[in-house]
Structure formats: C-alpha cells, structure tokens
C-alpha cells in the first residue's frame, strides 16, 4: 500500500502529458484534408487586423520592388473608404510630399476616409516598367501599377480598408497616373483627380519633354518605362487616348494659368529661377489639361474643372486644389 500513492501520481502525470500532447496535435490534425497533409485555409470572420478609428501609421508593404513605405491616416470613424495621394516626378524615398508640403492630413483628419500616401517612385509615373533604368544603375524594375492596384489594397484590406472603395488623386506626374489607374482599374477606384497633370502626352514635343524631365529627376531612362516613342505603351498611358474608359467616373481636373499668384513669393535669385521654371511647367500642364477637357466634352463625359487665373507648378496651389476637391471626394466615397 505504501506504493499506491506514487503509482497513482505516475498515472495522473502520464494522463496529463497525453492530454497536453493531444491539445498540441489537434490544431494541426484538424487542417489535414483527405489524408494529403494539406492545411485548410484559415477562415476570418472579419479583417485579420483592425486599425483604431483615426490616427496615423507608417506601414511597410511587401512588393516585387521590396518593402514600400506607406504613410496612412486612418478614417476618423473606422470607415472603409480610402484616398490614395500620389506624389510628383521628384518623389522622395523618405516621405510622400503630400504629408509635409500641404495640410492634407489636417484637411481630412475628421473625415471618415483613410489617406494612403505611398512613398517613393521618383520618375515612375506609377506604372509598370519593362526593365530597370539602365542610365542610373537601378537594381529593380518599377512595378507601381501592380503595387497600387494589387499589393497595397490587399495589404490594407487586413486593416478593414475596402479594395473596391478607393479614390486616387495626384499632381503633375501623379495627375496623369491617377487617371490611368482609375481608367484600367474601375473596380477599385470611384474617383480620380488630376492637379496640373500632363494629360495629352501624345501631343507634339511631349514625349521628348518627358524624356528630358526624367533624366533631370534621377537620371531615369524613359525607354525602360514605356519603350521607344512609337511603342503602344505610350498610348495606353495617355489620358487623351484612353479617355473613353473614364465614362461614369467622378473626376476633378485642375490646372492654373502659370502666372505667379499670391502664393509665389521668391526672395532670392534661386527662388526667382524656381518660380520661372514653375510658370513654364504649369503653362504646359494647362495646355495639356485644356486639350483633355475638350476631348472629354467631345465624348460627352462630365468632370469637375478648375482653372485658376493665377498659380504656378508648386505645392501651395495643389494643397488649395485638394481642399476644393474634398467635398466631391467625400460625397463620391460617402465618407463624411
């Protein structure tokens, strides 16, 4: 009898170990289907991750280009709509200029709309390139259209952002890119905005101008992007050409005259030079945008237009235009 207690303790210990082992095995065994050893796909009743209503985050999103930084301001009341804000030709690798050159974050802070600001993409036109740029030793191929219409919306869906309830707006390079993305991905974008965009890139001299601009902004070779000037990719990415695809899309289109306005205050020789350059760029954007407007009118496609009498190709004016477009964006996305 004196050995009964140790034997009882031993049997209880063995039973506890068996139950523990069973608990470890069951989650794995439950996923085995038909004896093949395949694991069943996890079932989510909702988003795997849910962001708090409001607030700011910096996410790193996997892509074929590596991990891409994306600045995000979450919808104030947890709504699922999102506005993608695209940068210009000289996009930086540390921050999207919308986040510090304008008050975009403040403009939408109390709205039920998530701001999505991808970082990087200098001279990319936010498109899928054929190859890395061989002029500046680029190590990877730009695949921005794939990133913005597949990788990023799928990633944000885990935070409760709908991949089919998006708006997109950009300036300059980002302006034409916004219309391109919306034209070919209508299931994702309900609104597109172009501020000082180049919307008639088949116009005489435009392809050469883009080539020179991309060389100046990072030493990029445009042939690695859309091929030689006669390649069909140039037409695919020209808003003037693909305009019929925009029917039924809510659009805000803007370009100023190029004349200096109240937000142009150069105080140095360099400032005067930059203002003169901004005047020329905006005048070119206006010519492109007016041609695009005539094209839409000829097709019977409506859009909201704004052509300020003064204003150059600079951030203060684009911040103002974003605010003018805000009401239309929120109405379209039902995100007040």
Enzyme catalytic residues: 172, 282, 313
Tell me the torsion sign for CA atoms 174, 180, 185, 191: positive
In whole angstroms, what is the distance from residue 317 CA to residue 103 CA? Answer: 11
DSSP 8-class letter at 191: E
In whole angstroms, what is the distance from residue 284 CA to residue 185 CA? Answer: 27
Longest dimension (CA), the chain: 105
In whole angstroms, what is the distance from residue 257 CA to residue 308 CA? Answer: 6
Q: Are strands 114-118 and 189-195 parallel, antiparallel or unpaired?
A: unpaired
Residues paired with residue 305 on neighbouring β-strands, in sequence order: 253
Distances from the Cα of 211 to the Cα of 100, 164, 316, angstroms: 28, 34, 26
The backbone torsions φ and ψ at residue 150, rounded to the nearest 5 degrees and listed phi first, read -135, -65
Residues paired with residue 170 on neighbouring β-strands, in sequence order: 86, 194
């Amino acid at each position: 009898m004196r050995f009964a207690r140790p034997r009882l303790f031993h049997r209880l210990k063995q039973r506890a170990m068996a139950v523990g082992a069973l608990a470890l095995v069951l989650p794995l065994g439950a996923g085995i289907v038909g004896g093949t050893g395949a694991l069943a796909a996890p079932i989510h009743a909702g988003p795997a991750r849910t962001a708090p209503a409001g607030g700011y985050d910096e996410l790193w999103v996997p892509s074929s280009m590596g991990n891409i930084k994306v600045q995000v301001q979450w919808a104030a009341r947890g709504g699922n709509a999102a506005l993608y804000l695209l940068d210009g030709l000289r996009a930086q690798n540390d921050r999207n200029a919308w986040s510090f050159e304008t008050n975009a974050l403040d403009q939408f802070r109390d709205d039920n709309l998530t701001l999505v600001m991808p970082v990087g993409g200098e001279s990319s036109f936010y498109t899928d390139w054929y190859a890395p740029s061989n002029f500046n030793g680029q190590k990877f191929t730009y695949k921005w259209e794939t990133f913005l219409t597949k990788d990023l919306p799928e990633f944000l869906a885990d935070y409760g952002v709908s991949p089919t309830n998006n708006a997109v707006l950009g300036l300059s390079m980002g302006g034409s890119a916004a219309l391109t993305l919306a034209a070919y991905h209508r299931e994702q974008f309900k609104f597109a905005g172009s501020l000082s965009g180049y919307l008639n890139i088949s116009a005489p001299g435009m392809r050469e101008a883009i080539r020179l601009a991309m060389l100046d902004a990072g030493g990029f070779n445009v042939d690695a992007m859309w091929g030689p000037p006669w390649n069909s990719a140039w037409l695919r990415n020209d808003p003037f050409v693909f305009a019929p695809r925009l029917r039924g899309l809510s659009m805000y289109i803007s370009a100023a005259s190029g004349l200096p306005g109240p937000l142009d205050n150069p105080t140095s020789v360099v400032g005067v030079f930059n203002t003169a350059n901004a005047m020329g760029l905006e005048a070119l954007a206006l010519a492109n945008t007016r041609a695009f407007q005539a094209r839409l009118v000829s097709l019977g496609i409506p859009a909201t237009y704004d052509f300020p009498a003064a204003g150059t190709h600079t951030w203060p004016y684009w911040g103002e235009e974003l605010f003018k477009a805000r009401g239309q964006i929120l109405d379209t996305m039902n995100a007040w």
